[in-house]
């Protein structure tokens, strides 16, 4: 049986380690070079929460009602919608093709925009939140609180005509990131295993 001391003291072990480290370093350097040469413009959107205002209260207080102006709301919700520039550069106003707004559909009629995380003009059309063309700085995130009347508000989609900008659902992005991390982990384990096999082969 080979001891840990014999592994570290072996003359063939260090070259193998150097080979493995060199391979990993070269791969990372190549990826970093491509990453820097092609900076991406990237916009993500999501719906972090949809809170029912009535919840279980009608069963306790049958006469309780929520209204907006003169309208009695049947299924009132406060919905949070988030838009963020997660790319490596600002998204300029000129990137909005045809001066068209970003439209985020929450699946139920929007009655009002209650609040925003920072000053940002917006409007609504049916179930869509409309964000007009504007500068979105790198790492900038906008959150909108919407009053919605509908049984099942949900993130239907995003309508964004932006030139050279990748547009992604935030939830899909998180899943893809987890998959990429798993793949990188497996590649790292495979390279380390390969290096160990090479070293053991030199001892036989």
No. of helices (H) and no. of strands (E), the chain: 4, 11
Q: Where are the domains of the chain?
A: 4-38+175-203, 42-50+66-164
Domain 42-50+66-164, architecture per CATH: Sandwich (2.60)
Residue 66 binned pLDDT confidence (cut-offs 50, 70, 90): confident
Q: Is 136 exposed, middle or buried (0-12, 13-18, 19+ CB in 10 A)?
A: buried
Q: Where are the alpha helices (DSSP H) in 85-169?
A: none
Q: Note the pLDDT of residue 37.
A: 45
β-bridge partners, 167: 43
Residue 133 tokens, joined: 């063309």
pLDDT tens, position by position, 81-95? 999 999 999 999 999
Q: Is the pTM of this model over 0.75?
A: no
Instruction: Indicate whether 62 pLDDT > 50.
Output: yes
């Amino acid at each position: 049986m080979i001891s840990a001391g014999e592994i570290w003291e072996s003359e063939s072990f260090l070259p193998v380690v150097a080979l493995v480290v060199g391979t990993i370093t070269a791969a990372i350097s190549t990826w970093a070079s491509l990453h820097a040469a092609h900076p991406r413009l990237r916009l993500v959107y999501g719906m972090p929460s949809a809170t029912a205002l009535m919840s279980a209260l009608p069963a306790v207080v049958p006469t309780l009602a929520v209204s907006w102006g003169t309208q009695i709301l049947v299924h009132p919700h406060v919905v949070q919608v988030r838009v963020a520039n997660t790319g490596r550069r600002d998204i300029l106003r000129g990137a909005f093709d045809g001066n068209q707004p970003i439209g985020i559909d929450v699946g139920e009629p929007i009655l009002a925009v209650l609040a925003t995380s920072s000053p940002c003009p917006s409007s609504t059309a049916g179930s869509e939140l409309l964000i007009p063309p504007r500068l979105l700085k790198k790492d900038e995130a906008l959150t909108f609180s919407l009053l919605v009347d509908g049984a099942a508000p949900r993130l239907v989609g995003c309508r964004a005509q932006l030139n050279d900008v990748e547009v992604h659902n935030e939830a899909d992005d998180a899943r893809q990131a987890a998959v990429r991390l798993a793949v990188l982990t497996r590649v790292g384990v495979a390279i380390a295993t390969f290096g160990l096999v090479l070293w053991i082969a030199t001892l036989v």
